[in-house]
Amino acid sequence: MSESDDKVFKALADPTRRSLLDRLFKHDSLTLTELESKLEMTRFGVMKHLRILEDARLVITRRSGRTKLHFLNPVPIRLIHDRWIDKYTERRVSALTDLKAQLENAG
C-alpha cells in the first residue's frame, strides 16, 4: 500500500504533527483541548493537523461519553521501519561485516 506510505511520510514531515505524536506517545489518550494547550496555534489549526494524522492512521479517535479521545497508533511507523529502514540498515551492517572479513583476509 504505497499510497498509505505516502500519507505517513507526509504526515511526519511537519514539526507540529511530530510534536502531537510525541505527546500522544508520552501521555494517555488526550482530548483536543489537552492537545492544543501546549501549542501556539488556533484550535482550527490543531484540528487540521489532527485530520492529516488521522488520515494517515497515525492517530485514532474514540468517544468516551461526551469527549473524543485521541490515541497514537504506532503500527504505520513500524511498517515504514520494516519496509524502508531495516532494509538499508541491514545492508549497511552486512557491508561492514564483508569489509571486516576482507580486511582480515588481506592481513
Residue ranges binding another protein (CB under 8 A): 1, 4, 26-29, 34, 57, 60, 62, 71, 73-75, 77-79, 81-82
Are residues 17 and 11 in contact, defined by beta-carbon separation less than 8 angstroms? Answer: yes
Give the integer Cα–Cα distance in Å for 24 and 73: 9
Q: Closest distance between another protein and the C-beta of residue 75, in Å?
A: 5
Would you state the torsion angle of the CA atoms of residues 66, 53, 30, 85, taken in this order, to the nearest 10 degrees?
A: 150
Would you say 22 or 45 has its CB closer to another protein?
22
Shorter beta-carbon distance to another protein: residue 6 or 102: 6
Distance CA 100, CA 88 (A): 18
CB closer to another protein, 16 vs 29? 29
Min CB(88)–another protein separation in Å:
15
